[in-house]
Structure 1
Amino acid sequence: MTTFVLVPGLWMGGWAWDAVVAELTAQGHRAIPVTLPGLGERAGEDTAAIGLAEHTDAVTEVLDAQEPGAVLVAHSYGIFPSLAAVDRQPGKVERLVFVDTGFPEPGESVVTQMPHLLEAADGHVLRVPSEIDAVHGVPEAEWERYQRLATPHPVRTITDPVALTGAWLKLPTTGIFCLANGLSLEVARALHATGDPRFAKLAEPGVTFFELATGHYPMLSTPTELADVLVRAAAGEGQSLQGQ
């Protein structure tokens, strides 16, 4: 049995992982979806007071409550608080899984990589998107559910810089690329081939990759396939850049 800790991306609470949790549980694993401060059922919290540190603390608290050896799964924005949390105590996590996202450098923020997000700012929050592009393959029923449950996201969490020591770099990792969103194993190979030191980890032992034929929200569009890939990732399976 593996314990999976599931951290969602922007605007989503733990509810986003419901179908994945059901599938992982049916396969005999533990799955713990995380709702970050100010989101989901915690949307009533003071968004002005919530920054990346508060989200990092929330992920840390969940990890602290588990036995060592959990698999930490982070979707999109969720990699920022997840990476910061596991960097504090890498011994708590067996593997870190990136779902359709990359990894920041120390001192970077979400808006360093995606400044356009601030166009959705409304006071202390980012407005929920009015639609999800069809390319992402989210079924109509799931899109309607998203509309009901998604909540404005605290702005400071995307403008605060991430604090990293580099301790997380020693962890085994798995990247799950969603092909309709543009990330792929081919892209990872190209980034590594640049020789940029920040991409050196991509070809290290213990680093694996999967590709899913879906868009940026696989927990909504292909939850069964995502759950199966997470189980395989926990077992160390997946493609490697080594020798390629």
Structure 2
Amino acid sequence: MTAFVLVSGGYTGGWIWREVAALLRERGHTPLPVTLTGMGDRRHLAGPDTDLETHIEDLVQVLEHEDVRDAVLVGHCYGLLPVLGAADRRADRVGSLVYLDTGMPQDGDAGVDVMPDPAVRDRLLGRATECGGGRFLPPPPLEDEEVWGDLTGVAPADRVRMERLAAPQPLGTLTRPLRLTGAAAALPSTGVFCTANGPGIAVLEALLATGDPRYAVLAEPRVGYFDLETGHYPMLSRPGELTDVLIRAAAGEGRRLG
């Protein structure tokens, strides 16, 4: 039995993992979907000081209060930043990490720093000033896929649910830098690419083929990869396939590039 701590991206909450959590439970595992402070049904708890450190502490407390060992921490999109922070602080309770359709933030990076398009980043920061009082980032319409990501495979009913439950993102969660000591740097990791939303494993292979030493970490034996042919929200569009991938990742499976 494995404990899976499930952390979703911006504007969402633990509710988005409902189907995956049920499937993991059916297969004998312990799903721990997390709603971070200020998100989902905890949106009323957001305050002027809610930032990335708040969300890291949310996860640290889950690890402590659930008393889990060898947990698999799954970070989707923005959710990876608090996952990395919590793993760094409590590496003794973490078995592996899953990067679910997200980037590779490093020590000193903030959420806005790792956004691939600077124009989108600037637009979001402007929106926080204009509509969020400089403290919150109001959720945009779902049609804004530059922000939400590709919605391929998400059923109409789930799109309605996403829009209805979307919460304003506390701006400090995206502007406070991630601070890492390196305590979790050697943990086994799995990258899961949603290929309708961006590049997959083949692009990593092409990067490695350049011989650039910056990409050497991608080929370390502790790192595996999976492609999912769907959009940015596989927990909604392909919950069964994602569940299989998470269980396989926990078992150390996944394609190696080394």
| TM-score interval, normalised by the smaller of the two chains | over 0.9
Q: Which residue of 2 aligns with 1:184?
A: 200
- For this pair of structures, how many residues does the alignment match? 242
Give the corresponding residue for 1:15: 15
Instruction: Mark the CA change 1:188 to 1:63 in structure 2 (over 3 Å): closer, same or farther.
Output: farther
Give TM-score, length-normalised by structure 2.
Answer: 0.89
Unpaired runs of 5+ residues, structure 2, are: 116-120
What is the RMSD computed on CA atoms of the aligned residues?
A: 1.6
> What is the CA-CA distance between 1:198 and the residue it aligns to?
4.9
Q: In the alignment, is residue 170 of structure 1 matched against residue 176 of structure 2?
A: no
Q: Give the whole-Å Cα distance in 1 for the aligned partners of 2:19 and 2:226.
A: 20
- Per-residue CA deviations over 1:179-209 (Å, capped at 9, x if unaligned) read 0111310222234445555533211112110
Q: Which residue of 2 aligns with 1:97?
A: 98
Match of 1:139 in 2: 155
SS of 2:140 mapped into structure 1: coil
Q: Which residue of 2 aligns with 1:55?
A: 55
- State how far apart, in whole Å, the 1-side matches of 2:127 and 2:100 are: 23
Cα deviations across residues 57-86 of structure 1 (Å, max 9, x unaligned)?
Answer: 001111223321111111000011110110
* CA 84–128 in structure 1, closer or farther in 2 if over 3 Å, else same: same
- Secondary structure at 1:6 match in 2: strand
Aligned residue number for residue 229 of structure 2: 213
Going from structure 1 to structure 2, the CA distance change for 1:181 and 1:189 (only over 3 Å counts) comes to same
Gaps of 5+ in 1: none
Provide the rounded CA distance (Å) in 1 between the counterparts of 2:219 and 2:171.
Answer: 34
Equivalent residue for 1:25? 25
Aligned partners of 2:213 and 2:91: how far apart in 1? Answer: 21
- Secondary structure of the structure 1 residue equivalent to 2:48: helix
- Distance in structure 2 (CA, Å) of the matches to 1:67 and 1:45: 25
- Residue of structure 1 equivalent to 2:118: none
Question: By how many angstroms is 1:167 displaced?
Answer: 2.1
Please tell me whether residue 128 in structure 1 is matched to residue 135 in structure 2: no
Shift of 1:2: 0.9
CA distance 1:214–1:120, change in 2 (3 Å)? farther
SS in 2 for 1:181: coil
Distance in 2, matches of 1:170 and 1:118, equals 34
Deviation for aligned residue 1:49: 1.6
| Distance in 1 (alpha carbons) for counterparts of 2:213 and 2:86 | 23
TM-score by length of 1: 0.94
Q: Which residue among 241, 244, 249 is the counterpart of 1:233?
A: 249
Contact between 1:47 and 1:125, CA under 8 Å: does it hold in 2?
no
Structure 1 runs of 4+ off > 4 angstroms?
A: 132-135, 193-198
In 2 relative to 1, CA 195–112 (structure 1 residues): closer, same or farther, beyond 3 Å? farther
Alpha-carbon distance in structure 2 between the residues aligned to 1:190 and 1:166? 27
Contact 2:103–2:114, Cα closer than 8 Å, also in 1: no
2:166 to 143, 147, 150: 150
Secondary structure, counterpart of 2:45 in structure 1: coil
Distance 1:32 1:84 in 2: 17
Give the Å deviation of 1:221: 1.1
